[in-house]
Structure 1
Amino acid sequence: MNKDASFYRWYILAGALIGWFALILQFTLTMLHRSLPVATSIIKYFSYFTILTNLLVAICFTVLWLHKNNKLYKFFSRSSTITAINVYIIVVGAVYNLVLRKLGHPQGFFKLADELLHSVIPLIFLIFWWIYVPKRSLEWRQLGGWMLYPLSYLIYTLIHGALTDYYPYPFVNVTVLGYRKVFFNCCAITLAFLVLSFIFIAIKRKQKTKII
C-alpha cells in the first residue's frame, strides 16, 4: 500500500469514528435529558435531517473503510452517491451556521455534539470529496435522483408534524408560520440543494482528482 492509499484509509477511518461518536453522543444526551417516553424521544431524534445525514456520512465512511465487494460498497463508492451525500451534509452545515446557530447556545457536551455534527463532519466530508472522488462519472441527469432524499424528508416532516404537531426545525413549523410560509421555505431549501448540486457537478467535471 502506497502512502496516498494509506492516508486515504486512515482518513476514512477517522471520519467514520468521529461520525459514530457524534451520533452516539447526541443520542445519549437526548435520552439522558428527555422529558418524553423513550419511543417518542427516539422518533424525534431520527426526525432531524442533521441526524439522518450524519448517519449517511458515518455509514459511507464505514462501508468504504471495510471495502467489502458487495452491493452496499458498490453503492457508497459511486461518485454520484458520495457527491449527493456531500451536498446534503454541506446543506446541514450551512443551514445551522447561517440560520440556526443564533437560536441557541448549547454548553458542554451539547456544544461538542453540535459542533461535530454541524461543522466538523461537513468539513471532513467536503475535504474527502474534494481530494478522492473521481469526476468522470458525474452527469447532470443524476441531479434529479439526488433530490429524492431531501424532498422525501420534507414530505415526511410535514405529514409527521400535521399528525403530532412536532416540527424539528422552525422554518418548517406550520403551526407557527402557516403552510404558505413553510411552502416558500421548502422551495428555498430545495433551490439551495439544486444550486449546490450544480456547483459540485461543475467543479468535479473540471477538477483533476486523486483516485485511490
Structure 2
Amino acid sequence: MRPLSTCWRLAFGALALWTMGFCFVARHPSVDAVDFFSYFTVLSNVIGGVALLAGAVPGWRDTAWADGLRGGAALYLVITGAVYALVLDGPVTTWAGWVQHRIMPVVAPLDWLALAPRRLPARRTLACWLAFPLLYLVYVLAHGAATRWYPYPFLDVRRHGYEIVTGYTVGIGAAFVTVAALLLGGAGLRRRAPPRGTP
C-alpha cells in the first residue's frame, strides 16, 4: 500500500498546488494577491496540497504533525465543498473549479479515512483545526470593515447585517465541529478494524 499511497498523495498534492498556482497567475487584474488568498477555498486547497505532499515524504509520513495537517486539510476541504454546493450553489464550469470544489473535497477526507493515522490527533491539534476557521472569520470581518470587500456574499455585513452573518457563521461553525467529530470517529474505527483475512 505504501508505494500506491505515496503516488496518490504526490499526484493530488501536486494537482492542488499547481491548480492554485495557475489560478493565481491567471487571476483577473482587479483581484490582488491579498484578496486572492482571502478566499477560504484557496487556503483550504493550498493546505490540502501541502498536507498530501508532506504525507508522501519519507521521514515526515506518519508523524504527528503531518497527520494533524492531513486531518485539518480534510476538515477544511469537506466544508469548502459543502458550502459551495449548499450555500453558494454555483455551477462548476472550469477544470480549476472542479479541482477546488469537487475533487479535493473528496480526495482529502478519503486519504484521511482510508489511510488512518497511527495515532489520533491530540486535543491541542483538534483545537488548532477549529481555531483556523475562527481566525479566518475574524480576518474576513476586519478586512471587510477596512476595505468594504468580502470574499463570500454570505459574509457581507454591508448587505446582510451582523445578525444574518452571525446566523451563517454559527451554522457553518457547527458544521466544522460535526465534520471534525466524524473524521476523528471514522479514523478511530479504521484504526480499530482488524486487517483483512483476520478471523
- SS, match of residue 78 in structure 2: helix
Consecutive unaligned residues in structure 1, runs of 5 or more: none
Q: Which residue number corresponds to residue 111 of structure 2?
A: 128
How many residues align? The count is: 194
Q: Which residue number corresponds to residue 143 of structure 2?
A: 160
Q: 2:131 aligns with which of 148, 156, 173?
A: 148
Answer whether contact 2:6 2:56 (CA < 8 A) is retained: yes
Q: Which residue number corresponds to residue 183 of structure 2?
A: 200
Consecutive unaligned residues in structure 2, runs of 5 or more: none
Is 1:119 aligned to 2:102, yes or no?
Answer: yes
TM-score by length of 2: 0.87
Q: 2:49 aligns with which of 45, 48, 58?
A: 58
TM-score by length of 1: 0.82
Bigger shift: residues 54-63 or 202-211: 202-211
Distance in 1 (alpha carbons) for counterparts of 2:24 and 2:188: 38
1:100-144 per-position Cα deviation (integer Å, ceiling 9, x unaligned): 233xx565xxx1111111111111112211111226424567533
Pair 1:191–1:135, CA change in 2 (3 A): farther
Is 1:20 aligned to 2:11, yes or no?
Answer: no
The structure whose RCO (Cα within 8 Å, separation 6+) is larger is: 1
Q: CA deviation at 1:8?
A: 1.1
Identity of aligned residues (%): 26
Distance in 2 (alpha carbons) for counterparts of 1:138 and 1:17: 25
Is 1:100 aligned to 2:100, yes or no?
Answer: no
Answer whether contact 2:92 2:98 (CA < 8 A) is retained: no
Task: Give 1 or 2: higher helix fraction.
Answer: 1
Distance in 2 (alpha carbons) for counterparts of 1:98 and 1:146: 22
What is the RMSD of the two structures over their aligned residues, measured on CA atoms?
2.5
